[in-house]
Amino acid sequence: MIPPSSSLTSSFIAGAGQSPTEPNQPESISSDSVELKLSSDDDFYLLYVGSYTSPGTLKRETIEQLNKDHPGIFNGLENPDDLFNADPVKYQPLAKLIYDTDYRDLETILDPDIGEPCWSAQKMLYGEYQGDFYKFEGDYEGTQWVRVHSDKYQLMKKNKQFVAQLREFLFDQSMSNDDKVVNLQMLFPPVDQSGEDISADQLRENMDLLFRNTFKQAQQRAINSGFKP
């Protein structure tokens, strides 16, 4: 940890009292007249067939309701059931409907061809889907599921934040190189008697503290110069 009493010098201003995070601006995606605005931490639903039996088809009532709630959702499809195999962004309303419906009640929205309908949906974050932080798995009996690697996704986000903070800090033109060196040295405390060095998690935490401290000092200097925060 960086000592609270450390004398950190910088006029860098990152934002309203917060350290910067990875860009997470909504992304507009248009798919056959259906437009969704998705950010990396928005919920996302991935459809898959839970077993190798007949997946079933959409009931007429389900088609009508989806068309009413999401006009244009079936545009560009030869058959409403083609929505199951459409771009995952396009089929989000259907996937969420299946996710929210108990598997024992799937026959309320799907007509089974043989036996019971077996469509399933896995909930994840859009960023996890975009970055392929998931994997389809199955067993010898034909049952399938989706495993989401949320821990790896969160680690990736932390690493991106760390790199972004370090880049902004190093290229801050209002701060002297000598001050940058002094501040960066504070990220690495002396190795303790056990010989254990700082971990990657501690380094990221120290960088976050450094960023927040330099922001506060820059903000105070701006106030002293007559600027409102």
Task: Give SS3 for 55.
Answer: coil
Query: Nearest to residue 1, comparing CAs of 163, 184, 207, 170?
Result: 207
Percent of the chain whose predicted confidence (pLDDT) is above 70: 72
The overall pTM is greater than 0.75: no
Reported as a pLDDT band with limits 50, 70 and 90, residue 217 is low
Contact 38, 129 (CB under 8 A): no
Q: State the sign of the Cα–Cα–Cα–Cα dihedral 193, 199, 201, 202.
A: positive
> pLDDT tens across 20-53, in order?
334 344 454 444 445 668 899 999 999 998 766 6
pLDDT in tens, 179-215: 888 888 888 878 776 778 888 888 888 888 887 776 5
> What residue ranges do the domains of the chain occupy?
27-148, 157-224
